[in-house]
Structure 1
Amino acid sequence: MKNLKRLLTRCDRLIMPRRVLLPALTLLVIFLASCAPLRPELGPPVSSDFADALIQKWRDKALSINSIQGLAKLKLEAPLNNISANQVLLVEGPDRLRAETLSPFGVPLLLLVADGEKMGALLPAQNIYYQGSSSPENLGMFVNLPLALSDLVGVLLYQPQIIESWKKEAFTLKTGGWLLIHSGTLQRQEFIFNNMQELIEVSYFKDNDLLLKVQYAEFSESDSSYPKLLTLEIPEKYATVTLDFSDVETNGQIRPELFKVAPPAGARVVYLPD
């Protein structure tokens, strides 16, 4: 964690460069529609009791994670926009987030802090600090995520939201593992578990169009509770966003002041709508 601790220390004293391009970033991009993807080949159905046990095992493991702090390579691949950057992430449930995006040379590009109902975003190049409520609209201005803060935190903590459903189905997969399908009104959610009964993929659909697919991979042998690789697919944009953690710690102590929403001295403050 040495590299991470150095970067976290530097978060408290951001250097303001003259000119930095703000990436079209970028924690994640979400809730866009496209054609439904092909499913893995299904095997025989499994009982509802077994399916419920899979969900419960994942939830028990995931809910043991209260926070993460990590250093990741952020990669966005899209037809007209490819971005590579470093991402320092501090996430604490249920609704605390600090994300600093750095260029490959370590230059600060964006610092986003959200704590409950409040958020702030610093653009170091312009020395502008945006401050307001942590509504999906305000968050979406900086991370392209029309998503509630608590839901975003859930995705990052390996706790993606489960939709309300009236029908549940479950099948074995011929390639190994299981597929669970939860169907609601005009929406559907699909879970894929591997042979180790770990949740490795969750997809959200509306009217049979894929909105978002999240994949989790590279579970550590010593600590299998948190995946080191997160991949988001946004089919409408033909885009893929990847967070590849080189350093990550779960349930570590995070100083409360790192989530403080306050403009740095000398910054021009722009107030966002409530």
Structure 2
Amino acid sequence: MNRALAAIFLVLVCSGCPKRIEFGPEGPIEDPEKLFELTVQAQANVVTLQGDAKLRVDSPQASGTLSMFLAISRPGLLHMETFDFFNRPVAALVSDGQRFGLYQTEGNVFYQGPASPENVSRFLPVVLPSEELVAVMLGQVPLIPAERKTLELDRGEGVYVLTLHRGPVTQKLHVHTKYHRVVRSEVRGVPGYDLAFEDFKEKGTVVFPGEVKLIAKVAGTELRLRYSDVSLNGPPDLTLFELSPPEGARVVEVDARGREIQPSPAPPPPGPPGS
């Protein structure tokens, strides 16, 4: 056999070999409840994040990439700033979980109102409640309340496949065999979105994905959040979540749907005494 044929033979043989799987200290897990518990614990290890990222949006309405500064903290503290190509501030959105504020440099306008899903998701083509948005950005998967769970080991992909069942609804979780972090989540049987996490790195005692991807197939939308320089689990800077408008900005009050609330007309001045 010549060298070229030998090389082809080796490639074909190796491609058919099962992927080497590295397990955590518990070894292979066969109990779905045990894996579910370890996965929830692994997700809960990240509480706060602060740093820089890029957000790539692909949707029927618009596509493009934004540079961002983020500060987020569970359950619903959110601070997002976006910048243009020349690193000039474009907008800043802040929420304390109850109220939100959005400052847009163009027009010098500050919008404020309840922290509804429509308001806190103004930077995104999908609508998520603030607690759910914070969880996803922290690399965590919102989980359906399961009635039962099933588990198998996908040796080809090298992951656990933990499926949560609730009536006709299923959530299939592809779970890292060593770190017990979800690498992919697929919800079926109800309108929703899929999640994928990539480029995991160990940061101290936690394992965190460098990239978060959200896919809303029904809406034809994909969001890809790529972290470049972030710190985890530091004490949150609470001043970043203050809702005060910048001095001189025009303040606009909006309702939970994001619609401007027109100010009530001033009452007429009182008439002269005895009129």
SS at 1:126 equivalent: coil
Does 2:186 match 1:203?
yes
Larger Rg: 2
Q: How does 1:109-258 map to 2 (within 5 A)?
A: 109-175=90-156, 176-196=158-178, 197-207=180-190, 211-223=192-204, 224-258=206-240
Superposed CA offset, 1:58-115 (max 9, x none): 2222212220012112111346632011111100111100011112321222211000
Amino acid of the structure 2 residue aligned with 1:105: F
Does 2:53 match 1:68?
no
Amino acid of the structure 1 residue aligned with 2:181: E
Residue equivalent to 1:266:
248
How far the C-alpha of 1:186 sits from its partner, in A, is 4.5
Percent identity of paired positions between Structure 1 and Structure 2: 26
Q: How does 1:46-125 map to 2 (within 5 A)?
A: 50-78=31-59, 81-125=62-106
Confirm or deny: 8 A CA contact 1:228 1:248 kept in the other structure.
no
SS at 1:58 equivalent: helix
Q: Label 1:239 to 1:97 Cα distance change in 2 as closer, same or farther (>3 A).
A: same
How far the C-alpha of 1:262 sits from its partner, in A, is 1.4
Q: Label 1:138 to 1:198 Cα distance change in 2 as closer, same or farther (>3 A).
A: closer
CA distance in 1, matches of 2:142, 2:220: 23
Unaligned segments of structure 1, at least 5 residues = 1-46
Confirm or deny: 8 A CA contact 1:135 1:148 kept in the other structure.
yes
Residue equivalent to 2:270:
none
How far the C-alpha of 1:228 sits from its partner, in A, is 1.0
How far the C-alpha of 1:116 sits from its partner, in A, is 2.0
- Under a length normalisation based on structure 1, what TM-score does the superposition of the two structures give? 0.75
SS at 1:220 equivalent: strand
Unaligned segments of structure 2, at least 5 residues = 1-27, 257-275
SS at 1:119 equivalent: strand
CA distance in 1, matches of 2:72, 2:93: 12
Q: Which moved more, 1:138-147 or 1:231-240?
A: 138-147
CA distance in 2, matches of 1:121, 1:187: 36
Higher relative contact order (CA 8 A, sep 6+): 1
RMSD: 2.2
Amino acid of the structure 2 residue aligned with 1:162: L
- Under a length normalisation based on structure 2, what TM-score does the superposition of the two structures give? 0.75
CA distance in 2, matches of 1:167, 1:56: 14
Q: Report how many aligned residue pairs link the two structures.
A: 226
Q: Which moved more, 1:170-179 or 1:129-138?
A: 170-179
Superposed CA offset, 1:186-206 (max 9, x none): 432221113323311122233
Confirm or deny: 8 A CA contact 1:128 1:267 kept in the other structure.
yes
Q: Which moved more, 1:150-159 or 1:138-147?
A: 138-147
Q: Label 1:107 to 1:159 Cα distance change in 2 as closer, same or farther (>3 A).
A: same
CA distance in 1, matches of 2:188, 2:244: 37
Amino acid of the structure 1 residue aligned with 2:34: A
Q: Label 1:140 to 1:243 Cα distance change in 2 as closer, same or farther (>3 A).
A: closer
